[in-house]
Structure formats: structure tokens, C-alpha cells
Amino acid sequence: MDMVNLKINGIPVTAPKGATVLDAAKEAGIDIPTLCYLKEINEIGACRLCLVEVSEGGRPFRMVTSCVYPVTEGMEVITNSPKILASRKTNLELLVSNHNKQCLSCVRSTTCELQRLCQEYGVNENRFKGAMTEPRLDTSSSSIVRDTSKCILCRRCVAACRNMQGIGVIGANNRGFDTVIGTAMEVALNTTSCVNCGQCIVACPTGALHEKDDTDKVFEALGDPTKKVYICAAPSVRAQIGECFGYEPGTDCEGKMVAALRRLGFDGVFDMNVTADLTIVEEANELLGRIQNGGALPMITSCSPGWIKYCEHYFPEMTENLSTCKSPQQMFGAIMKTYYAQKHGIDPKDIVFVSAIPCTAKKFEIGRPDQSAAGVPDVDIAITTREVGRMISQAGINFKALKDEEFDAPFSNGSGAGVIFGATGGVMEAALRYAAEVILGKKLEKVDFNEVRGVEGVKFAAYKLGDMEVKVAVASGTKNAKELLNKVKSGEVDVQFIEIMACPGGCVNGGGQPYQPASVRNNIDLRAVRAAILYNADAAKDLRKSQDSSDVKRIYDEFLGSPNSHKAHEVLHTTYVKRGL
């Protein structure tokens, strides 16, 4: 690799040829502030916060944007001169001059990147006064709120939607002072092909985008003595909830999370891993049935509601290939309001079922048709990891002081296969652990299918199981899903089973996960760090296959009968809509 020698603040630095000044400074232990920059997603130099002074070939120093300016041999860089510091402060003051400064009530207060930089640079929020861009508030979506009064036009959300997800339902409208980020023709977000993935939210540095907050609904239900209020937590929530309370990414806080949820007053705190296992049993049997009986192949997983809506919009002809299984969230609600309600003599109408999930699209999913096994919605309220964190804080629960507690029976015995659902490739691996035993007719000794692990956008693998070769593919991120499905349609790719997650890296990188600033996202692969928690938890379990879960066996023995039975289809399966564009 060709290397370049330069000096940054008088310190000799060596950087790869083609690296930016921002990259070189980071390697030298110098953090240059940014607002618009997201590595490999949004590299446009728009916010001008990363300005530095450079001198090349002995020429006078001049200001450049470090996030897009390449290093050259012999370059000298100054990152903290009085001129640079004054320029950054002025740019921040200009940004806040057209910004809704109701910071105390903002959902991003204390996690807002603009707020933090203004504090660091001693910004006077009233230096520039005058006209402000007319604000727009869009609350039409069941998942996402857009508030342009807090937008700084960094375009990170636009890049996440267009460049990372390949969708592009939002962009810059108008020009100059009237520029605003919005949908085409400023139509309501819920009328577009937005898939509710929420990647725009985690990309946004301010409170211009956030999930629709449902915490008041949960508190109201908890305070209603006529209701039984239950909650289940998705696999990846336990892997990220600690980040809401200052823990480093990569910290498993399952026990503290259970203890905190119990202190909020829920009548039962359950593990969604159980219905992740249930999903695997149903989905794997569905796949084997399609292979043996000539059903639509490749079969595609149905756990990610953002992916399901994407398929309905962009590949409506392939909805026939979707597994008819409900997601683990919806299966849990369905089981609670049928099997559990009958067993305990509770009217389903008196149950409020809450899911704690890493996904904003789950808020949309609970309102989908054909998601009411007991004649009432399977799931009443879906709250993100961030909302769970806010509820715990608002209730005065000292999360860090809690001792670990365990999930409540009868839904506490999930397998390691259910745990890894939260990482891209996890659903596929869990399904392979089940299908391999069925096809081979014997216990599986090696349960790790490492070929489908990892954060790559698209992965392929083939497994020889007796006389049958099972060919599979895994994609995460809708842009990668589009690439894969187009190859399937053209015949370039021949597989029988596909796992797709709407969010790059899977649920561990979901749109409802804790906020992390660009300074973290640009330098740590959160997808891999968070996924490692799930794989470590799986490896530590004695129970690692969905079919071995005593909770799953009990549900079939006492209620469903057998996988893919008529009863199972009534309770656990669903239908789709060919939406188109």
C-alpha cells in the first residue's frame, strides 16, 4: 500500500494514499468535528464543521473540508487554529439561527450532536436573528415523525434512505434558504413507499427525525387495573439496552433489562426467543413442504416487517415467495391472546400485549391486516429499545444498580437459535439447525453454520444434507435485497431459501436502537460488536436448537398440535398485499 507523509498540528503522520485528512487525523488521535459526515454513506462536506487549514508544496494555508480532502505528500494540516475555531463556531451559530431551540423537550436532548458541539464551542444561539424556514411536521407515519424545524440539512437521512437502503423517498426540495428535506411533492410519508425501517432516524444528528413515541400508551395500560399487561423482549434489545444507560456497545444487559421491566409493573416479562424458536419450526417445515410438494421457491423469510413492506412495494410479484409465517413479535401476541388466555381464563380483550423491539417498522406491523388471531390485534403496542430506556429512566429505576433477574415462565426457555435472530444470517442459521435434523433424521452434532454469519450485505452457502443439497442466500439492507432478488429473477442466482433483513446487519442495527453519534458509527462497526453479544449468548447455552425448547414443545402439545397444522395456520400465519409503487 502506498503511504503518504504529512504533518498534523506539527506531528508527523503517515496515512494511506487516497485517505482523507479526516481519516489521517483520526489515526493520529485527533478528532475533527463533523455533522453531515457518515463514513461510506454521506461524504459531501456540506456542514463545514470539519474545516481545517492545509498547506501543500509550501503554498499559503487555506481552509478545506477534511472529510473529502485527500492527503498529499508533505502536506501540513492545522486543525485547531483561532481561524478554524472561529469558523466552526460561526457555522454552528448559523445553523441554530434557523433551528427550533426547544431543547429541553426534544427527544434528542443530551444525545443531539448539534447540541453537544454548540456546548463545546460556546455558541450564542441568538447571534443571528431573522427569518426562519417555514417548519413542516409530518406525523402521518405509524412509525416515524419528521420535524423540519429541527433539521440542519446535513442530508444524512437522505443518504441513508437512498445510498444505503436504495429507496430514496426523501430528498432536498426547493433551493437556497427555502431548501427543506421532504418527500416528493411534500406528500405525507405514509403515502409513499417508505418501509419504516428507521435508518433515517439513527442517521439523523438532531431531533428532526424520531420514532412515534408510544410510551404514554404503555404507562396508561400499566395504570389500568382492569387490564393484564404483558411484555416480551426481542433478542437484540438485551444486547443494546445498556447503551441507553452509558454502557459500552457490546455489553449484554439481559438480566438488568428483565429486572427493570418487572419494576415498571408488567404482569409478565417474557422472552421473544421462544416465538423466534416457534417461527423457525413453522418456517422450516413450510420450506421442506415447498421443496417436497412443488411450492413457490425460493422461499423468503418474513421476520422483518421493513423487508415485507419493501417486497410488497418493489417486488410485489415475489410476495408468493414470502413465508406465510408471522414474525416472532406477532406470533407472541397471537399465542398470548389464544393459548395463554384460554389456559388462564382471561378474555383476550383484557390483555394489553407490548413488545420491546429494535425496529421502528414493528409499529407499522401491529396494524397490518390478518394479524388478529383472537379477533383483537395480536400486539397492542410496540416500543423501541430507545423507548424502553426512556420509560425506565422516567420511572426512576436505577438500571445500573439492578441485579440480574430471569424471564417469567411459561415463556422463558428460548434456545440459542432464537437468540441469534437479531443478527443478519441468524434466522437462516436457526432454520438450518432445524432442517438439517429433519432431513438427516438424526441429532445434529455441529450446530454452527458459520458461512451465513458476518455483516456482508449478501452471502451465499450450500449444504449437502444426505441426498439433498440446500442452497441458501442471506441479504441485509434493502439495497442489497434488491440486488439479490434481481439476480434471482434473472436466473443468475439459484437458491431455495433466502433470509432478508431490512436493516444492514439485521436487528442489532435496527432503526429503534440506541442513538450513537457519527463519531462512534464512523469508527466502530456497531453491527459486528452488537451481533457478537448474541453469538456469545448462543454459544453459552446448553439449548441451541429451536426444536429442543420445552416451551415450544408445550405449545404444540397443548394447543397447536403439529407444525403447519390447521390450527397453527389460523394462529401463526398471515397474508400479504401487492402494493406496488
On the CB side of 431, CA atoms within 13 Å amount to: 32
In a domain, 88, yes or no: no
d(CA 425, CA 459): 9
* Residues 125 and 40 both lie in one domain: no
The pLDDT, as a whole number, for residue 124 is 83
* Residues 106 and 72 both lie in one domain: no
- Nearest Cα neighbor of 510 from 387, 383, 360, 389 is 360
d(CA 228, CA 349): 10
In a domain, 47, yes or no: yes
In a domain, 424, yes or no: yes
Domain ends where: 184, 211, 238? 211
The pLDDT, as a whole number, for residue 207 is 98
Domain ends where: 57, 80, 103? 80
The pLDDT, as a whole number, for residue 528 is 96
Q: pLDDT grade, residue 581 (50/70/90)?
A: confident
Q: pLDDT grade, residue 125 (50/70/90)?
A: confident
* Residues 460 and 513 both lie in one domain: yes
* Residues 293 and 333 both lie in one domain: yes
pTM: 0.96
Mean pLDDT, range 108-133, rounded to an integer: 93
Q: pLDDT grade, residue 224 (50/70/90)?
A: very high
On the 0-12 / 13-18 / 19+ scale of CB atoms within 10 A, 293 is exposed
In a domain, 578, yes or no: no
Pairing of strands 144-147, 137-138: antiparallel
Q: Say if residue 441's pLDDT is above 80.
A: yes
Return the CATH number at 178.
3.30.70.20
* Residues 149 and 271 both lie in one domain: no
The pLDDT, as a whole number, for residue 326 is 98
* Residues 236 and 367 both lie in one domain: yes
| DSSP single-letter state for residue 50 | T
In a domain, 522, yes or no: yes
The pLDDT, as a whole number, for residue 473 is 98
pLDDT tens-digit readout, 495-551 = 999 999 999 999 999 999 999 999 999 999 999 999 999 999 999 999 999 999 999
The pLDDT, as a whole number, for residue 156 is 98
Torsion angle of the four alpha carbons 548, 550, 556, 562, in this order, in degrees rounded to the nearest 10? 20
Q: Say if residue 1's pLDDT is above 80.
A: no
pLDDT tens-digit readout, 408-418 = 999 999 999 99
Mean pLDDT, range 168-182, rounded to an integer: 96
Q: Do the Cβ atoms of 46 and 61 come closer than 8 Å?
A: no
CA terminus-to-terminus distance, the chain: 46
Q: Give the three-class secondary structure for 489.
A: helix
* Residues 252 and 268 both lie in one domain: yes
CA distances from 533 to 416, 421, 433, 537 (A): 12, 12, 20, 6
On the CB side of 581, CA atoms within 13 Å amount to: 5
Pairing of strands 497-501, 468-476: parallel
- Ranges of H-type helices in 80-211: 82-97, 113-121, 156-159, 199-203
Domain ends where: 80, 105, 128? 80
* Residues 190 and 292 both lie in one domain: no
Q: Do the Cβ atoms of 100 and 149 come closer than 8 Å?
A: yes
pLDDT tens-digit readout, 310-336 = 999 999 999 999 999 999 999 999 999
In a domain, 579, yes or no: no
All three cell numbers of 86: 472561529
When the pLDDT of each residue in the chain is averaged and rounded to a whole number, the result is: 97
pLDDT tens-digit readout, 257-306 = 999 999 999 999 999 999 999 999 999 999 999 999 999 999 999 999 99
* Residues 396 and 448 both lie in one domain: yes
State how far Cα 391 lies from the chain centre.
19
CA distances from 324 to 227, 282, 300, 433 (A): 31, 9, 9, 20
What range does the domain containing 169 cover? 93-211
Q: How many domains does the chain have?
A: 3
In a domain, 577, yes or no: no
The pLDDT, as a whole number, for residue 408 is 97
The pLDDT, as a whole number, for residue 126 is 81
Q: Say if residue 372's pLDDT is above 90.
A: yes
* Residues 41 and 182 both lie in one domain: no
Q: Do the Cβ atoms of 333 and 326 come closer than 8 Å?
A: no
d(CA 273, CA 283): 15
Return the CATH number at 33.
3.10.20.740
pLDDT tens-digit readout, 30-71 = 999 999 999 999 999 999 999 999 999 999 999 999 999 999
In a domain, 447, yes or no: yes
Q: pLDDT grade, residue 114 (50/70/90)?
A: very high
3-state DSSP percent of the chain in helix, strand and coil, to 5: 40, 15, 40
All three cell numbers of 62: 487555506
* Residues 156 and 39 both lie in one domain: no
Q: Say if residue 486's pLDDT is above 90.
A: yes
The pLDDT, as a whole number, for residue 291 is 93
* Residues 169 and 69 both lie in one domain: no
User: Phi/psi of residue 545, each to 5°?
Assistant: -125, 135
| Kind plus residue range of the DSSP H or E element containing 173 | strand 171-173
The pLDDT, as a whole number, for residue 445 is 87
Return the CATH number at 435.
3.40.50.1780
